[in-house]
Amino acid sequence: MEIDKPLYEDEIISLVLHAIEDVSYTKIFLKCSIKGDTFSYNLEYENVENMRIKAEIWDSHELSCLIKHDQRRRWNNLSMVISVDGTIISDYYFVQYL
């Protein structure tokens, strides 16, 4: 059963695209996860030589809209690849909470 994309996804995309200032980066890789009531994500860049550069990691960001969006907690991971040309691929990983 699929769940609509979270409302804040566009905000994340905007944040990451603005973070790309170096034209040598061709893709970014963003992974998000839920732990308890917090939201964390890490970010990597890929440059024109296909080398991965790990960016800063942010932890424990409070996103109340995330919790409101899916109170059933049907998923807890999101991977996103954003190319500089604007191509976006999002994958949701569904997890059964025990």
pLDDT digits (tens, 9 = 90+) for 6-28: 555 566 666 566 655 666 667 66
The one-character DSSP state at 24 is T
Q: Look up the pTM and report it.
A: 0.42
3-state SS class at 85:
coil
Q: How confident is the model at residue 85 (pLDDT cuts 50, 70, 90)?
A: low
Helix (H, G, I), strand (E, B) or coil at 72: coil
Contact between 24 and 33 under an 8 Å Cβ cutoff? The reply is: no
Structure confidence at residue 8 (pLDDT): 54
Q: What are the structural domains of the chain?
A: 9-94 (3.30.500.20)
Helix (H) or strand (E) holding 59: strand 52-62
pLDDT tens, 61-84? 444 334 344 444 444 555 566 555
Nearest CA-CA partner of 46 in 84, 79, 10: 84
Encode pLDDT of 33-67 as tens digits. Answer: 666 555 566 667 777 788 877 765 444 344 433 43
Residue 28's CB is within 10 A of a number of other CB atoms, namely 21
How much is the pLDDT for 21?
60
